[in-house]
Amino acid sequence: MPGQPIIPKGAAPPLAPYSPGTRAGDIVYTAGTVPIDADGNVVGVGDICTQTRHVLETIKAIVEEAGGTLSDVVFNQIFLKDYSDYSNMNEVYKEYFSTNPPARYCIRADLVKPEFLVEIASIAHL
């Protein structure tokens, strides 16, 4: 089954050849979503809370463009530049996934740009 690209209105320009999201049947996969705005500027430099909120709002827009909601997200892959941001990232994260949170993992990783503090990729079943 071929995937259908999902590009919500106002989406940030991809940093490489990829789609922000892909729908295959009733499954939506988001790309690793980073804190950049529609003009390609980094959002919330140095602020993990602002960056996490922006990333999750972008994921929400992708899932909604495919016809779902964040409650359809079943798995998140979280990448942090620094584990010292873990607690603050979680404070924002739980605002979006407070009831029946999806499975997830969180690892420390070097991200594409040094200003990025967080990157999240999601899987949703519609």
d(CA 82, CA 111): 10
Which are the contacts of 69, defined by CB distance < 8 A and separation ≥ 6?
60, 63
Q: What is the pLDDT along the chain (126 residues), one digit of tens a residue?
A: 678 999 988 887 777 888 999 999 999 999 999 999 999 999 999 999 999 999 999 999 999 999 999 999 999 999 999 999 999 999 999 999 999 999 999 999 999 999 999 999 999 999
In the β-sheet with 73-80, what is the strand arrangement from edge to edge? 4-6, 21-24, 27-30, 118-125, 73-80, 103-108
d(CA 71, CA 50): 21
Beta strands in 25-85 (DSSP E): 27-30, 73-80
Output the pLDDT for position 13.
Answer: 75
- pTM, two decimals, is 0.95
CB atoms within 10 A of CB 117: 26
| Domain 4-125: homologous superfamily in CATH | RutC-like (3.30.1330.40)
17 CB burial (10 A radius; 0-12, 13-18, 19+): exposed
